[in-house]
Amino acid sequence: MKIIVFGANGQIGKILIDKIKKEGTHEVTAAVRKEEQAKDFQSKGVKGLLVDLEGSVEELTKVIRGHDAVVFSAGSGGKTGPDKTLLVDLDGAVKTMEAASKAGTKRYLMVSALQANNRKNWNQKIRPYYVAKHYADRCLAESGLDFTIVRPGGLTNDKGAGKVAISEQLERGKVSREDVATVLLASLEEEKTIGKAFDLTEGDKSFKDALGGL
Ligand SMILES: NC(=O)c1ccc[n+]([C@@H]2O[C@H](COP(=O)([O-])OP(=O)(O)OC[C@H]3O[C@@H](n4cnc5c(N)ncnc54)[C@H](OP(=O)(O)O)[C@@H]3O)[C@@H](O)[C@H]2O)c1
């Protein structure tokens, strides 16, 4: 499978790309917004393509064309305001969905956030972020793409525990970025995850059992 990762230079993105490279079954492209980031990836033997999520659907279509799957793990982050949340986390994400459709790339994995689907459970301090995640996920579910929406709890940089909980609704909890990356790669390889959206936290199940239970 040829996979393109948006947010490739981010923390989950980098771990995922390393995992894909190490596993060796798939080809991976890093979609990044700065020349030096593309060069860094190229020096590690990973194709780097320059594109800004604030750019046009046409530009995004060009970089997605030729890939079998899109992973969206980008985000404007906590240091910018709700304007960037709208432009990147919502519109940026939806533009990649439109671009994937135009490019004929059917498979699409979204890194969302725990309970983004359920307004009652949003963290009220970052409501605009949840609004963006919620509507991006809804657009994806209605896009006709072969989607999987992974909704992790609070992200940590701990070493992967190798055990997770996966369910339609989980209590607030945390999960390491490494385990999120493993779930993303395992989801790409498990057809059962197509058309599914689920919360993800630390837990007591192996990746295989957790995804197999969907
Ligand atoms: N933090 C949490 O607890 C939490 C919980 C649940 C879900 N999430 C979600 O998890 C995902 C990944 O998290 P992370 O920790 O890996 O995030 P991260 O390290 O902040 O990475 C985000 C990436 O998005 C890229 N990006 C931002 N704006 C862009 C634009 N206009 N065009 C292209 N790329 C752009 C950034 O590029 P640069 O490297 O150039 O800055 C960065 O590489 C995000 O979608 C986040 O919303 C986070």
The residue whose two tokens read 């995640």 is: 133
Task: Give the atom of ligand 1 at the shortest distance from the alpha carbon of 12.
Answer: 16
Most informative mutation of 12, 89, 95 for ligand 1 (most atoms within 8 A of CB): 12
Reported as a single tens digit per residue, the pLDDT across 31-66 is 999 999 999 999 999 999 999 999 999 999 999 999
Does any ligand 1 atom lie closer than 6 A to the CB of residue 38? no
CA dist 144 and 56 (Å) reads: 21
Neighbours of 93 (CB within 10 A): 26
Per-residue model confidence (pLDDT) at position 141 = 98
CA dist 197 and 10 (Å) reads: 22
CB 152, CB 201: distance < 8 Å = yes
Q: Report how far ligand 1's centroid is from the alpha carbon of 32 (Å).
A: 11
Per-residue model confidence (pLDDT) at position 125 = 94
Does any ligand 1 atom lie closer than 6 A to the CB of residue 5? no
Does domain 2-212 bear CATH number 3.40.50.720?
yes
Q: Report how far ligand 1's centroid is from the alpha carbon of 25 (Å).
A: 25
CB 49, CB 73: distance < 8 Å = no
Does any ligand 1 atom lie closer than 6 A to the CB of residue 83? no
- Give the residue, by CA position, lying nearest to ligand 1 atom 39: 9
List of long-range contacts for 23-29, beta carbons under 8 Å, 24+ apart: 23/185, 25/1, 25/189, 26/1, 26/2, 26/188, 27/1, 27/2, 27/3, 28/2, 28/3, 28/4, 29/2, 29/3, 29/4, 29/5, 29/63, 29/67
Burial class (CB in 10 A: 0-12, 13-18, 19+), 45: exposed
Round the CA-based radius of gyration of the chain to a whole number and report it. 16
The pTM assigned to this predicted structure is 0.98
CB 143, CB 101: distance < 8 Å = yes
Phi and psi (nearest 5°) for 120? -60, -25
Q: What is the mean pLDDT of the chain?
A: 97
Phi and psi (nearest 5°) for 45? 85, 20
Q: Report how far ligand 1's centroid is from the alpha carbon of 12 (Å).
A: 8
Does any ligand 1 atom lie closer than 6 A to the CB of residue 10? yes
Per-residue model confidence (pLDDT) at position 102 = 98
Burial class (CB in 10 A: 0-12, 13-18, 19+), 138: middle
129 is catalytic: yes
Reported as a single tens digit per residue, the pLDDT across 140-195 is 999 999 999 999 999 999 999 999 999 999 999 999 999 999 999 999 999 999 99
Q: Report how far ligand 1's centroid is from the alpha carbon of 1 (Å).
A: 23
Q: Report how far ligand 1's centroid is from the alpha carbon of 78 (Å).
A: 9
Does any ligand 1 atom lie closer than 6 A to the CB of residue 113? yes
Query: Within the chain, what is the greatest distance between any pair of CA atoms?
Result: 46
CB 148, CB 109: distance < 8 Å = yes
Does any ligand 1 atom lie closer than 6 A to the CB of residue 70? no
Phi and psi (nearest 5°) for 135? -75, -30
135 pLDDT band, cuts 50/70/90, is: very high
12 pLDDT band, cuts 50/70/90, is: very high
